[in-house]
Copies of this chain bind each other. A is one copy, B any other.
Amino acid sequence: MRSGTNLPAVGGYNRAVILDAIRRAGDGISRVEVAQRTGLSAQTASNVCRRLVDEGFIRETGTVSAGVGKPRRILELRPDGRFAIGIHLDPSVITVVLVNLAGDVVDHRSISTPAFALVERIIDRIVATVEDLIDSSGVGAEYVLGAGVAAPGPIDVTRGTLVNPPQLPNWNQVPIRDVLTARLGLPVVLEKDVTAAAIAETWSAEPGGSFAFFYYGTGIGVGFALRNEVVRGSSGNAGGVASMRVRTGGTRPATGPERIGDATLPRKVVDRAIERGILPELLAPIDNAVIQDAFLRLAAQATAGDGRARAIIDDIAEDIADVVIPVVNLLDVDRVIFGGPFWTPISALLLQRIPRLVRDSPHLVLPHPITFTEAAAGDDVAAVGAACLVFDRELSPVPAMLLISAKRA
């Protein structure tokens, strides 16, 4: 059953709309312009702006004369008005960032994730890292709104746990959200990593966009937004594409990988390079750091012009294009964004091929152009998105906020 709406809900929504308008205005905006851009009355805009100034979210930065009238006071976001912590729990490395209200990274730390370390020890290190990050930044703890955790799926949003994550088996059913809430003394939210990456993008981008964000990490996944609202799915697990089939054969044996998850798995890419004599055998123990290192070597060789290394990267380009086409057809997005730790080292090579493969395909059926870009937030994107999620829950206008006692889930 849908809920109705009422005045308190309207007030909260309009406050978020106005803050969003000021945040996106960049170099300042007057109250009159705020009213114009949001369609709200001058009185409403003025009242809400006064409250936002009092709360420290925005500030006045001076005046501008507009012809004969009274000079207008200019408002802008106070980037240091509030902060949030973002934690990206990745199988290779844990990234912790402190992000300000403008979505900028104030500081960040990395923790390598030893494959066999106890989960309790890793949580201890995360907590110590967050506390150190806040302490050394000089930000008052009362200005840190909360922490977001981005983790590989599947996740259980009700319990705040990971559910049999293939790359993080030790984390199955660990109540990461509640443990961190208790240990950090902050509200903590849990989000799937690719969804967090998409949130980072909506936070940085012009609103109104519909996009699919292909995140190439230890696995490959898609975060997506439709009309600038990130889609979480019925259980917070939208974005699984690993099961999509790609072409077989080509330069690879006909019995080769059949699904994008296998075809692009860094371990398998590296193995293919070893089989073909492009990379030397890996030295045991083979953990995620060793694979990442080998992948970087392969990327460097391909970039330097080694034809055999290049052929392997070209296969990845074809495989990704093979999945981009059905995903954009299904979702009807007009923008494709790429990012993630395994995207970055081969970005230039992939961007030479993927857009053309997609655009030239007879299987692309949308009657509008598709643009291709890279993640605005770079390699920290999932961690930044997890932090933005904290702001998002407090400050971002989505119409669902208007529903009586609607929870943002």
A contacts, CB < 8 Å to B: 1-6, 10, 13-14, 17-18, 20-21, 24, 37-41, 44, 153-156, 163-164, 207-208, 210, 222, 226-227, 231-248, 258-259, 322, 325-327, 329-334, 361, 363-368, 397-400, 402-405
Contacts and interface: CB of A to CB of B under 8 A. Distances in A.
Contact of A13 (B5, B17, B245, B364): B5
A133 to B, nearest CB: 31
Given A5-B10, A40-B6, A331-B233, A322 B240 contact: no
Contact of A238 (B17, B155, B332): B332
Given A1-B38, A18-B4, A233-B332, A402 B405 contact: no
A210 B233 contact: yes
Contacts of A44: 4
A156 B367 contact: yes
Nearest to A156: B367
Contacts of A233: 210, 226, 331-333
A interface SS class: loop
A236 to B, nearest CB: 7
A36 to B, nearest CB: 10
Contacts of A259: 363
27 contacts: A2-B17, A2-B21, A3-B17, A4-B13, A4-B17, A4-B18, A4-B38, A5-B13, A153-B365, A154-B365, A154-B366, A163-B367, A233-B331, A234-B332, A234-B334, A240-B332, A240-B365, A240-B366, A242-B363, A243-B361, A243-B363, A244-B244, A244-B245, A248-B248, A330-B330, A398-B399, A399-B399
